[in-house]
Structure 1
Amino acid sequence: MPTLTDKVALVTGGATKIGRGVVEVLHKDGAAVIVADIDAAGLAQLPEEIDAQHCDISDDTQLAALISGIIERHGRLDVLVNLAASYLDNGAETSRDDWLTGLNINLVSGARLSELARPHLAQRGTGAIINFSSISSAVAQTGRWVYPVSKAAVVHLTKLQALDYAPDGIRVNSVSPGWTWSNVIEEVSGGNLEHADRVAAHFHMLGRLGRPEEIGRVVSFLASDAASFVTGADYAVDGGYGALGPEQRDPAIPLLAP
């Protein structure tokens, strides 16, 4: 089991369902955890031992204040998890403003926060950044343009950061979750996890949705010294979604018979 004892971790978007799963695992594994989120109500529901901070990650002034506050309160920063995201997407009909908003939140804000955190992550030579991509980064999904494009860019950003931050001893990796019990899926499914699992079964080799804590365990590994030789990689935490292919579970060859 990875240990994060004596590490300080910042998680953006940590008030979401997936975010809370990540936060809970990091905290259980020994890290002091700061959550930055724009959702004040969600922040209020976090356990009191979590350092909850209201922050709009698209505002550089707020990002700078966030980092300086963490250093003032905790003395250092060892791990950054860029999890916060926007699902704003109307496919081909997405307006220019919505395109820019989606890219700003999903891509640019994480890049800016990483750079602001860089000198602090570099201090002990064992810093780690975990960016959140998605299975949407690698496949075509009808009616969705902004989110998949932004998440594909995150995968490449991760490689670029890994290269440029390596001299500072900072490792950078990304995770790409499959369908996971999240705020969005809870809303769409009417809060019915069993129904959501049944729908997800056809698209995932493991026959169900992922759980937030399952994503959290991979993040915790990447944040820990157990992953000391891992950088520039994207981890598919997707129950086999990405490997399944377009034929899914249905044998296609028999369909060729006349």
Structure 2
Amino acid sequence: MSEFEGKVAIVTGGAASIGLDITKGLVEAGVKVVVGARSREAGEAVARQFGDKVRYVAADIRKDEDLDALVAAAAEWGRLDIVVNNAAVYDDNGAQSSRESWLNTLNTNVVSSALLSEKARPHLAKQGGSIVNISSISAYAAQSGRWTYPVSKAAILHLTHSQALDYAKDGIRSNSIILGWTWSDPIAGLSGNDQEKADSVGANFHILGRVGRGPEAAAAVLFLSSKAASFTTGSELKVDGGYTALGPEGPGQAIALLTGGSASVR
């Protein structure tokens, strides 16, 4: 029997894209999942797909009452072991982003993650639970034309550190996952739903030569929530295909340019 059998998780944004893969990975491991999502159509579809393993709560995580509803839905199962703060918005117009966009992004991506975790805290403490915050390589690298999203993902890292410190006395661990480009609704939209193209372009920025996959994010969530990670808190698990390890020279042999050669990849 899986160590996750009978455990309960909340996954925000768990009805679509990477969040759906996380939901699926948890369910397959034996976890019951409360899925929070604004799209009723997507949420109800996930609940139908997984039957009594998933409860859908129509939730706008910017609203405290909706966060309360997520926690209450988990409590109806008698416990709460895992909170995955995955939901995020991409309300970003770079330096021209409005105050409204800044506040919406930080409210959704950071503040809501903090408040949900705090509301879940008493329940997580009973189980020695785990918080997993989804961050991004955008937290580390300046990206032209993108300001609000990267800043929010950088803030998630420090939120994780603060949670790890203050929640340790309750037996709660908090960790972040740093995702590289990952095949998802945003990447599919940008690439014309062409995964081969996404992998080809992504190969220039990821040592492993492709973009990530949602199930790889799900595997990281499971690891950080498992007994194998019992001494891991306040950490950043990079599931980025080597993006953050790759320097400005890129994947090619840039030094070859000095000798008249080419900086070809591998």
* TM-score normalised over the length of structure 2: 0.93
SS of aligned partner of 2:126: coil
In the alignment, what sits opposite 2:223? 221
- On the 8 A contact 2:83/2:130 being kept in 1, the answer is yes
CA distance in structure 2 between the partners assigned to 1:2 and 1:147 by the alignment: 36
CA distance in structure 2 between the partners assigned to 1:116 and 1:251 by the alignment: 50
Given candidates 69, 72, 75, the residue that maps to 2:73 is: 69
In the alignment, what sits opposite 1:189? 191
SS of aligned partner of 1:34: strand
Pair 1:55 & 2:44 matched: no
Pair 1:105 & 2:105 matched: no
The equivalences for 1:11-22 within 5 A come to: 11-22=11-22
Q: 1:2 Cα shift?
A: 6.9
In the alignment, what sits opposite 2:264? none
CA distance in structure 1 between the partners assigned to 2:181 and 2:174 by the alignment: 23
Per-residue CA deviation, residues 59-97 of structure 1 (Å, 9 max, x unaligned), is 0111112212321x2011110000000011000000001
In the alignment, what sits opposite 2:124? 121
The equivalences for 1:233-252 within 5 A come to: 233-252=235-254
Per-residue CA deviation, residues 154-211 of structure 1 (Å, 9 max, x unaligned), is 0011011000000000000010111111110111112111111111111111111111
- On the 8 A contact 2:55/2:73 being kept in 1, the answer is no
In the alignment, what sits opposite 2:263? none
CA distance in structure 2 between the partners assigned to 1:257 and 1:140 by the alignment: 30
User: Which has the higher relative contact order, 1 or 2, with Cα contacts under 8 A spaced 6 or more apart?
Assistant: 1
Number of residue pairs aligned between Structure 1 and Structure 2: 256
Unaligned runs of 5+ in 1: none
- On the 8 A contact 1:9/1:80 being kept in 2, the answer is yes
- On the 8 A contact 2:2/2:30 being kept in 1, the answer is no
CA distance in structure 2 between the partners assigned to 1:181 and 1:45 by the alignment: 21
The share of aligned pairs that are identical, in percent, is 52
- On the 8 A contact 2:183/2:212 being kept in 1, the answer is yes
Q: 1:115 Cα shift?
A: 0.4
Per-residue CA deviation, residues 231-251 of structure 1 (Å, 9 max, x unaligned), is 000111011111011111222
Q: 1:227 Cα shift?
A: 1.0
Q: 1:257 Cα shift?
A: 5.6
Q: 1:102 Cα shift?
A: 0.4
SS of aligned partner of 2:197: helix
Q: 1:252 Cα shift?
A: 2.6
- On the 8 A contact 1:8/1:78 being kept in 2, the answer is yes
Unaligned runs of 5+ in 2: 261-266
Pair 1:24 & 2:27 matched: no
Per-residue CA deviation, residues 101-160 of structure 1 (Å, 9 max, x unaligned), is 000001000000000000000013x21000011000001100000000000000011011
- Which amino acid is 2:187 matched to? I
The equivalences for 1:129-140 within 5 A come to: 129-140=131-142
- On the 8 A contact 2:130/2:174 being kept in 1, the answer is yes
- On the 8 A contact 1:2/1:220 being kept in 2, the answer is no
